[in-house]
């Protein structure tokens, strides 16, 4: 499973990239607004921090304007991935971009039927929002399982399932068991994956015993 970082915090992205755990980055207008940075400059910097795709989201609502915005974003770096909403105009833009060899991340997916449409339009990634579904007592992980089965039924569909709106390590565990291709995580969720009280307890015991030996490795 690939890990993307869902963040516009370049310091956090760089820190996690040093672990080898960053396979790409996703951004959205809300994250960009929170950063207070110029959008194009921000995307350019993020693209230097990972060789993987960096999702830059359009803000236009009609296909022609989406493609115009994409024309401004694609030259920023070779690893820019255009992010569009799951609307009919978004799907039109997806088809046009995919036909020209560009990767597209179709976002705000909340149903298996939507995911099927995005795949048929040529999306490189589909982003189902599991956390937001959980918020309304719907089955976010059930949606991931449904999309996985549908895509597996039709090998010609090459769209990768990018689990979004991740809220906890449990979302990651279940996504990996289902066979999702990618999960995009806030930095704090990725860091939390390593935490376990028995690891901390075991390390504490090992260090205490080592100190009793009076030795030093260096």
| pLDDT score of 81 | 98
Say if residues 93 and 66 touch (Cβ distance below 8 Å). Answer: yes
Residue 124 structure tokens: 């490189």
For 64-88, b/e burial (b = at least 16 CB within 10 A) is: eebbebbeebbebeebbbbbbbbbe
**Catalytic residue selected from 64, 83, 103, 201:** 83
Q: What is the largest CA-CA distance in the chain?
A: 71
Q: Determine whether 64 is an active site residue.
A: no
Q: Is residue 213 part of a domain?
A: no
- CATH number, domain of 162, equals 3.20.20.70
Say if residues 144 and 163 touch (Cβ distance below 8 Å). Answer: yes
**173: Cα within 13 Å, side-chain hemisphere:** 6
| pLDDT score of 146 | 98
Q: Is residue 204 part of a domain?
A: no
State residue 5 phi and psi, 5-degree precision. Answer: -100, 125
Q: What is the pLDDT of residues 47-101, one digit of tens each?
A: 999 999 999 999 999 999 999 999 999 999 999 999 999 999 999 999 999 999 9
| pLDDT score of 18 | 96
| pLDDT score of 164 | 98
Say if residues 160 and 124 touch (Cβ distance below 8 Å). Answer: yes
Alpha carbon of 139 to those of 46, 110, 126, 209: distances in Å?
33, 10, 17, 47
| pLDDT score of 130 | 98
DSSP string, the chain: -EEEEE---HHHHHHHHTTT--SEEE--HHHHHHHTS-HHHHHHHHHHH-SS-EEEE---SSHHHHHHHHHHHGGG-TTEEEEEESSHHHHHHHHHHHHTT--EEEEEE-SHHHHHHHHHTT-SEEEEBHHHHHHTT--HHHHHHHHHHHHHH-TT--PEEEEBS--SHHHHHHHHHHT-SEEEE-HHHHHHTT--HHHHHHHHHHHHHHHHHT----
Q: Is residue 214 part of a domain?
A: no
Q: Is residue 145 part of a domain?
A: yes
Q: Is residue 209 part of a domain?
A: no
| pLDDT score of 183 | 98
Note down the domain range covering 170.
2-193
Q: Is residue 117 part of a domain?
A: yes
Beta partners for residue 126, in sequence order: 106, 161
Tens digit of pLDDT per residue, the chain (218 long)? 999 999 999 999 999 999 999 999 999 999 999 999 999 999 999 999 999 999 999 999 999 999 999 999 999 999 999 999 999 999 999 999 999 999 999 999 999 999 999 999 999 999 999 999 999 999 999 999 999 999 999 999 999 999 999 999 999 999 999 999 999 999 999 999 999 999 999 999 999 999 999 999 99
What's the number of domains the chain is made of?
A: 1
Q: Is residue 15 part of a domain?
A: yes
| pLDDT score of 199 | 97
The whole-model pTM stands at: 0.95
Q: Is residue 104 part of a domain?
A: yes
| pLDDT score of 60 | 98
């Amino acid at each position: 499973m690939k890990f993307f970082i869902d963040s516009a915090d370049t310091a956090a992205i760089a820190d996690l990239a040093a672990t080898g755990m960053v396979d790409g980055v996703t951004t959205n207008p809300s994250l960009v607004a929170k950063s207070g940075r110029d959008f194009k400059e921000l995307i350019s910097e993020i693209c230097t921090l990972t060789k993987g795709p960096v999702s830059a989201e359009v803000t236009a609502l009609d296909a022609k304007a989406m493609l115009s915005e994409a024309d401004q974003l694609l030259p920023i770096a070779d690893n820019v991935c255009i992010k569009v909403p799951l609307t009919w105009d978004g799907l039109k833009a997806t088809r046009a971009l995919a036909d020209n060899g560009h990767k597209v991340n179709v976002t705000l997916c909340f149903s298996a039927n939507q995911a099927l449409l995005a795949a048929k339009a040529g999306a490189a990634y589909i982003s189902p929002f599991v956390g937001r579904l959980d918020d309304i007592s719907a089955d976010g992980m059930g949606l991931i399982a449904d999309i996985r089965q549908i895509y597996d039924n039709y090998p010609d569909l090459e769209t990768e399932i990018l689990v979004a709106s991740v809220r906890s390590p449990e979302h990651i565990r279940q996504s990996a068991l289902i066979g999702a291709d990618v999960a995009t995580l806030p930095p704090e969720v990725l860091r939390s994956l390593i935490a376990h009280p028995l690891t901390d307890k075991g390390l504490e015991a090992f260090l205490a015993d080592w100190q009793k030996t009076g030795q030093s490795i260096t």
